[in-house]
Structure 1
C-alpha cells in the first residue's frame, strides 16, 4: 500500500459524497497503515463520514444478484461468508470494480491463524503449551475448509440471475483467496446496528477500516440511515498517532 493509493482512496471517498475531517491516511512501515489526525481534535468531533453506497455490508452483499443466487443455493451461508464472496468477486473485477480505489488499500496477505501453513503450525508443537494450540488451529482451519468447499459447490450449482457471476467467482475462489477475504472481513469489518429487535450486521467501511486508535480508548462509530443514505463514523477521542 503506497501513499499514492491512500491519497486516491481519500479522493474517491470525497468524490462520492463523503466527508473527510482532520484526518489523513498514512503508510507507516513501523506501525502499519492507518489514519492520523492533522491537528488536535475535540471529543465528539466528526472525523469521517462515508456514504452508504460505498460501504460493503452483509445486507448489500445479500441483495446483489450474486448474493441472492448464493443464498438460494446455500441457505446456511453466513453474513461473513456473503461479504467474503462479495469481496473476492470485486477483487476479480480489478479496476472495473466500483471499489477499486479502496481494494488497492486492503491487504491480501495476513498472518492470522487461518492463513498459517505447515511451517507455522509445526512451530506450535515445540512445547506443551503449543501442542493444544496447534490442534485448535488445525480444527478451526478444517472447519473453514469445509465451508470453503460448500461455498464453491453452491456457486457451481447456481442458475438464473447471478449465475454467471457465481460461476466466475467459483473459478477464482481458491483456498488462498477465500482465506484472504476471511481474514480481511474478520480483522477490518465493523459491527453495525439495524434497530431494535434486529441482529447487528457486518460492514467494510472504506477509510473507516484504517482507524487504529489505542487499545481501551473511548471511541464511537455509528451507522445512520439518514435521508441521504449515509453512514457516519465518528471517533470521540484523539487518535493514537
Structure 2
C-alpha cells in the first residue's frame, strides 16, 4: 500500500513580537519571550473555528490553505514531500497527515466514486457504510486529545478540531467507551477526511474517526464514527 505523508497539525506556535524592559536581564528576557510564544500560540483548531478559508490549492503533494479574518492572513502548508506541516512557515507537531492511495481509487462516475466501505457508529447505532456519493478521499489525519473531564467536554473539543458536524456527548460515549460523567484520559485518534466541490460554493466535507488507547493505534477504544456533512463557506459564496 503506497502512502504519501502530507501535512497537518495539532499544536502550532506563532512567534509574537514584544519590547522588553531595558532593565531586564538576558535570562529574564528569554523567559518572557517563551511565555509570550506559548500564550500567543495559534492552532489549527483556532483556524478551523475562527477563520475563513480564503484560498486553497494542491500541487505535487503539497496542500496549501490560506485562512483570513478581518484582513489577518495565515497560511497552512501540508507538505507531502517532507511530511511537515507549517503555519506561517513554522513546523507543527502532534499531528500527521497520511495519504492512502488505496482509498483514493476513482470509479466510473461521481455517484459511485471512492465507494470503499467504512465502519462507523452513531447515535442511532452502528453499521457499515460506503463513502458518500460524489465524495473523494482527502487524507488520513492522526493526533491525540488532552484528557477531558467528561464526554461533553471532549465533544466540544472535537467540534473545533475535526471537520464535520454532529460531535455530541452521545457519539463520544460510543467512540471512547466512557460514561457521560467519567474523566476521559488522553487518547489517540485517526480520522479520514472526505470532500466534494473543492473550492466551489458547494464545498462539503465529513470525516470518519476512531479513538485508540495507544499511539501505535493497536487498541481501539470504540468503533468508527462518521460525522455529518459540513459546508465549507468561501468568501462571496
By the TM > 0.5 criterion, same fold?
no
Higher share in helix? 1
Structure 1-normalised TM-score?
0.25
- Report which structure shows greater RCO (CA 8 Å, sep ≥6): 1
Structure 2-normalised TM-score?
0.25
Higher share in strand? 2
